[in-house]
Amino acid sequence: MDHRSSETFLTCSLPEVELLAIQNGRHYFNITLTITCENENNQTFFTSKSKQVRVYGRTEHAISIYTMIRNKRNEIIDWIEYHRMIGIEHFYLYDNLSEDHIDIFLKYYLDQDIVTIVKWPFRPIRNQHWNMIQCASMNHALKNFGPFNKWM
């Protein structure tokens, strides 16, 4: 069986206090994952370190495009401009461990709400294919931004 595209992900609702903070302009919140057994003991098996998570803006677009990039500063503006000429309105760029400061380089596009950069700092699990990371980022983009786009 080919397991290169299998993945596990969890979703949860945000508490009301976090939703209010986001509505009032906060762009980050902290999460912690705890795994417990639901029995009479409620034994905890794992608790993660607290992680800061970015809240991304949700603007509606007719047509957007997703891609994962890594150190593509020299090509990305030509790629964006070409796709803008053929009708793409917005770009979701998943930055996978780049070292070329793409967010500074694309400041104009970020300020104009043409580009959203999602930091995607994941590597495949040992002996797994990179496709696992790509597939996870595609699913993330579709789940988080898909409902705000007619075509993506």
Q: Are residues 70 and 143 in the same domain?
A: yes
Same domain? For 62 and 119 the reply is yes
* Residue that finishes a domain, picked among 37, 55, 73: 55
Which tokens hold the place of 93?
Answer: 């760029």
pLDDT in tens, 30-77: 777 777 777 767 777 777 787 777 777 778 999 999 999 999 999 999
Predicted TM-score (pTM) above 0.75: no
Q: How many domains does the chain have?
A: 2
Query: In terms of domains, do 90 and 133 share one?
Result: yes
Q: Which of 36, 55, 74 is the last residue of a domain?
A: 55
DSSP for 22-43, written as a single string: HHTT--EEEE--EEE--SSS--
124-137: per-residue pLDDT in tens? 778 777 888 888 89
Statement to judge: residues 96 and 115 lie in one domain: yes
Whether 77 and 144 share a structural domain: yes
Between 114 and 25, the more confident residue is 114
Is residue 128 located within the same domain as residue 144? yes
Domain with 97, as residue range(s), is 57-151
Asked whether residue 76 falls in the same domain as residue 139, the answer is yes
32 and 15 in a common domain:
yes
Please give the Cα distance from 130 to 132 (Å, whole number). 5
Are 103 and 143 found together in one domain?
yes
Closest residue by Cα to residue 122 from 133, 131, 114, 107 = 133
Q: Are residues 120 and 146 in the same domain?
A: yes
CATH number of the domain enclosing 79: 3.40.50
User: If you count them, how many residues does the chain have?
Assistant: 152
Sign of the CA dihedral running 9, 61, 56, 147: negative
Answer whether 110's CB lies under 8 Å from 117's CB.
Answer: yes
What is residue 2's predicted lDDT score, i.e. its pLDDT? 43
Residues 61 and 51 in one domain: no
Residue 122 confidence class, pLDDT cut points 50, 70, 90: confident
Alpha-carbon gap, residue 102 to 10, rounded angstroms:
29
Single residue among 40, 55, 70 that ends a domain in this structure: 55
